[in-house]
Amino acid sequence: MTRTIIAIAGASASGKSLFSQTIYNELVNELEPGAIAVIEEDAYYKDQSHLPFDHRTQTNYDHPEAFEHELMCKHLTQLRNGKAVEVPTYDYAQHTRSDKTRTVMPAQILIVEGILLLSDKALRKEFDIKVFIDTPLDICLMRRMQRDMEQRGRTLQSVVEQYQATVRPMFYQFIEPSKHKADLVVTRGGMNRVAIDIIKSKIKYLLQE
Ligand SMILES: Nc1ncnc2c1ncn2[C@@H]1O[C@H](COP(=O)(O)OP(=O)(O)O)[C@@H](O)[C@H]1O
Ligand SMILES: Nc1ccn([C@@H]2O[C@H](COP(=O)(O)O)[C@@H](O)[C@H]2O)c(=O)n1
C-alpha cells in the first residue's frame, strides 16, 4: 500500500491547524475509516518536566533544538511502514509534555503540520507533498495574541515579550527561508477555498490509484 505524507508548514498562527483540520474534517467521513490522520509537530516539543517551571518559560520554542525531531522522523518512518505509533501530547500552559500519549494508526494519507517541518533536512525527506502557509507576520501576531491568551494560558505581556525575543527572529532565521522548499505556497491559509480543494482533490486521486 502506498502512503502519502503531506507537510503543512508556516509561521505560528499562520493558519496551519485550520488548513489541516479543514481538509481532515471535510474528508474523514467520505473516505474509508482510518484513511486519513493528522499529526502536529508541537507534540514533539522536548519533555521539560525535569526543569523548574521558571526555566521552562525561558526556552526558545521557535528554535529547532526545542523539538525532538529525531523521534518525529522515526514515527513518520514507522507510520509509512504500516506501524502504529504513540505520539506524545503537549501542554502549552505547563511548557512540557503531558503524561498521556495518542495512538496514531498508519493512515494512507498523513497530514503533518508545524512551524519547522521544512527547515529540517531529515524531516523534509519524509514528506511527499510540502505546503507552506504564507500569512503576513502582523496578522499572525494578532491571531497569536488572542489564541495564546484564550487557549494557552498566556498574558498579553508574555506574548509580546516572547514574540520580540524569539518568535519573530526565529521566523526570519528558520521558517521564512524554508518557504522555498515548499511545493505549494498558500496565501490566506485556512480560508483559501481553492487551495483546500486542490489538496482534497489530490488526496482523493492518490486514494484511487
Ligand atoms: N484565514 C484566517 N482568517 C481568520 N482567522 C484565522 C485564519 N486562519 C486561522 N485563523 C485563526 O487564527 C488562529 C490561529 O490559527 P491556527 O490555524 O491555529 O494557526 P497555526 O496552526 O498556524 O498556529 C486560530 O484562532 C484560527 O481560527
Ligand atoms: N511551551 C511552548 C511551546 C510552544 N510555544 C509556541 O508555539 C508555537 C508553535 O505552535 P503554533 O501552533 O503556533 O504553530 C511556537 O511559535 C512557539 O513559540 C510556546 O509559546 N510555548
Q: Split the chain (209 residues) into runs of 10 and give each run's mean pLDDT.
A: 95 97 96 96 97 96 98 98 97 94 97 97 96 97 96 94 97 98 93 96 94
Q: What is the whole-number distance in angstroms between the Cα of residue 61 and the centre of ligand 2? A: 6
Rounded CA separation 63/16 (Å) = 18
Coil, strand or helix: which one is 2?
coil
Domain enclosing residue 38, as ranges = 4-208
Pocket test for ligand 2, best of 115, 151, 156 (most atoms within 8 A of CB): 115
Is the minimum distance from the CB of 22 to ligand 1 under 6 angstroms? Answer: no
- C-alpha 152 – ligand 1 centre gap (Å): 14
Nearest CA owner, ligand 2 atom 12: 12
CATH number at residue 109: 3.40.50.300
Which residues are within 8 A (CB) of 48 and not within 5 positions of it... i.e. 6 or more apart? Answer: 55, 56, 59, 95, 96, 97
Closest ligand relative to 163 C-alpha: 2
| pLDDT recorded at residue 119 | 96
| Structural domains of the chain, count | 1
Question: What pLDDT, on a 0 to 100 scale, did the predictor assign at position 190?
Answer: 84
- The whole-model pTM stands at 0.97
Q: Nearest 5 degrees, angle CA 196-CA 185-CA 197?
A: 15
